[in-house]
Amino acid sequence: MPERARLDFDAWSFRLVMGGLTAVTVFFLLFPTVIVILTSFTASESLKFPPDGYSLRWYAALLGADQMRRAAWNSLEVAVMATAASVALGTAGALAIGRSRAWWAHALDSLFMSPLLLPGLAFGFAALMYVSLLGVELSLATLTVGHIVVCVPFVLRTTIASLAQLDPALLDSSASLGASPLFTFRRVTLPMIGRGIGAGAFIAFMASFDNIPVSLFLSDARTEVLPIHLWQIIDTHLDVRAASVSAVLIVLTLLLMLVAERLAGLSRHLR
């Protein structure tokens, strides 16, 4: 086989194999989502695919689901508070350790990232044991603190990545012109790393709102969040409303991602 023909065959076969693997991956990632959305429009009393008929009855039923609305509100409240605290702590931590080469900076970076290295259920159980040893009752506050611990690493990582792209000459120029560190942070550093912070905040919000392991151990009947409530109704009687809520969350997540990408181009900071 001529050399050029062999190279063309290798390139064609590589594209074929990689294209096939990509198609299989996309299929297995998207097909379950499509099933959930189609099932949410079923007219029957139970989850079944393919549906016998189609109806909006289960979306209308969400309007009268008081317990589900309370769980959704708890999830939103915890996610907002956890995201705000994670942005503050993650940004401060990134500024402290982002450009440092000292051993303590690497130690702190490993410490901040450690919640993501542990299995989620193991971390949730350990958090419950720690709260019990302190004698603190489970509440919205303890649940929020648990979410903050697992959300800070996301903001920290994206902010450190943005700081790595920040030209130190800009900071030196600001200081040489007499600007204070606070002024330099507000007018130079923050605008330059703002999109990285926004990317981390977006991931932190989604991770908190959809968190199950920490919420499973640190929530009680008063602070039940939406993922736990959906888990319970699926485990007990396969309520079709779970599919309706899931479809709504899928659509809202896609819209939020499109808005974030449109306004800030956050995908560039998630690579």
Task: Give the per-residue pLDDT at 7.
Answer: 52
Place of tokens 């560039």: 268
Sign of CA dihedral 197, 199, 201, 203: negative
Closest to 212 in 3D by CA, of 135, 119, 139, 141: 119
Is 248 inside any structural domain?
A: yes
Q: Is the pLDDT of residue 248 over 80?
A: yes
As given in the structure block, the two tokens for residue 236 are 């007990």
Is 222 inside any structural domain?
A: yes
Task: Give the per-residue pLDDT at 85.
Answer: 93
Is 235 inside any structural domain?
A: yes
Is 14 inside any structural domain?
A: no
Q: Is the pLDDT of residue 67 over 90?
A: no
Q: Is the pLDDT of residue 214 over 80?
A: yes
Is 45 inside any structural domain?
A: no
Is 72 inside any structural domain?
A: yes
Task: Give the per-residue pLDDT at 63.
Answer: 74
**What integer is the mean pLDDT of 212-220?**
84
H-helix segments, 98-225: 103-117, 120-134, 140-164, 168-176, 181-184, 190-209, 213-218
Confidence of residue 82 (pLDDT cuts 50, 70, 90): very high
Q: Is the pLDDT of residue 3 over 70?
A: no
The count of domains in the chain is: 1
Closest to 199 in 3D by CA, of 249, 148, 167, 156: 156
Task: Give the per-residue pLDDT at 5.
Answer: 57
Distances (CA, A) of 162 to 58, 84, 93, 147, 168: 44, 19, 13, 24, 12
Task: Give the per-residue pLDDT at 10.
Answer: 60
Is 30 inside any structural domain?
A: no
CATH number for the domain including 135? 1.10.3720.10
Q: Which of 60 and 88 is assigned the larger pLDDT? A: 88
Task: Give the per-residue pLDDT at 83.
Answer: 92
Q: Which of 103 and 130 is assigned the larger pLDDT? A: 130
What is the domain range of residue 222?
65-269
Distances (CA, A) of 238 to 176, 230, 235, 243, 249: 65, 9, 6, 9, 18
Lowest mean pLDDT across 96-100, 136-140, 142-146, 190-194: 96-100
Is 178 inside any structural domain?
A: yes
Q: Is the pLDDT of residue 153 over 80?
A: yes
